[in-house]
Amino acid sequence: MAQNEVRLQLHAQAYNLGVFLQGAELPEEIADWSLTSLQARLIKIGARVVRHARAITFQLAEVAISGDLFNSILAAIQRLRAPPVPI
């Protein structure tokens, strides 16, 4: 029963991520991707997490999308919401 609950929560999060990305001004190359395409090409990418003294780096396989395209997706996500104002 607990495994089904976790699976349901993961599917709900994936759906919410897809809806969230549809609201972003994504690059033209991927603007018409379906939720399944987003899942297969962005979420199911093999990655290695490398921890350095001051930074954590994700080394992604460029099989699904290029590094430049991934960076433009991240930039589109950052444009959705302004950074918090320090008090």
Give pLDDT, residue 75. 84
Give pLDDT, residue 42. 65
Give pLDDT, residue 82. 66
pLDDT in tens, 18-75: 777 777 777 787 777 777 776 676 666 667 788 888 888 877 766 667 778 878 878 8
State the Cα–Cα distance between residues 71 and 62, nearest whole angstrom.
12
Q: How far is CA 20 from CA 13, 65, 73, 76, 85, in A?
A: 10, 19, 12, 11, 23
Give pLDDT, residue 64. 64
State the Cα–Cα distance between residues 51 and 36, nearest whole angstrom.
30
Domain ranges for the chain, please list them.
2-80
Question: Is the pLDDT at 8 greater than 80, yes or no?
Answer: yes
DSSP 3-state of 4: helix
State the Cα–Cα distance between residues 3 and 1, nearest whole angstrom.
5
**Across the chain, which distance is largest between two alpha carbons, in Å?**
45
